[in-house]
A = this chain, B = another copy of it.
């Protein structure tokens, strides 16, 4: 194309090949050499308790805008998963927490997601929705809007937190048998 043509719309790495030293086919870009390794996405979050209530946030963003979730989001470089979970609680609900235990590691193969979820205690019941949150609420177990939860893994985490809170010896959980987190 001539030098003064507008740049073509980028279409992403588009050549399918097995990179040198690799064993799987990947999408690569002939220009920048980028290899699309389909890295997993790590989601970090926490079920946060205050007395007998649990912190819930109503999502202001897609996917599942308007539905309820626990504070959670993408892990960023340079932090630990526990630090990332505390950061997400602060960003989404304006709240500060003490991490108590690793609650669960969930895998959502369809999304390439690994979710690392902690059990935590609010340091104070002061909550204030962030820009990704319409409304934040401390909900008693019977007031949880079960029919309006954003994702299956939110339901899993709430039930696993309830088991964690029961006081019996607790081992971190994973996906319920046979469930892969699809809506």
Taking a contact as CB atoms under 8 Å apart, the answer to whether A30 and B42 are in contact is: no
Q: B residues within 8 A CB of A13? A: 32, 34
Tell me how many chains of this kind the complex includes: 2
- What CA separation (Å) do A175 and B11 show in the bound complex? 40
Which interface class (under 10, 10 to 19, 20 to 34, 35 or more) fits A?
A: 35 or more
Taking a contact as CB atoms under 8 Å apart, the answer to whether B101 and A80 are in contact is: no
For A7, A32, A114, the residue with the greatest tally of chain B CB atoms inside 10 Å of its CB is A32
Q: B residues within 8 A CB of A11? A: 32-33
Q: 0/1 per residue, A1-32, Cβ < 8 Å to B? A: 00000010111111000000000100001111
Taking a contact as CB atoms under 8 Å apart, the answer to whether B109 and A79 are in contact is: yes
Taking a contact as CB atoms under 8 Å apart, the answer to whether B102 and A171 are in contact is: yes
With A102-B172, A107-B80, A175-B80 as given contacts, are A34 and B42 in contact (CB-CB < 8 Å)?
Answer: no
With A31-B32, A34-B32 as given contacts, are A169 and B169 in contact (CB-CB < 8 Å)?
Answer: yes
8 closest pairs, A vs B, by CB?
A10-B33, A31-B31, A169-B169, A80-B107, A29-B32, A172-B172, A39-B39, A102-B172
Q: List 24 A-B contacts (CB under 8 A).
A: A10-B31, A10-B34, A11-B32, A12-B32, A12-B33, A14-B32, A29-B29, A31-B31, A32-B32, A34-B36, A38-B76, A38-B77, A39-B42, A40-B40, A40-B42, A75-B114, A80-B180, A82-B174, A83-B107, A102-B105, A102-B172, A102-B173, A114-B116, A116-B116
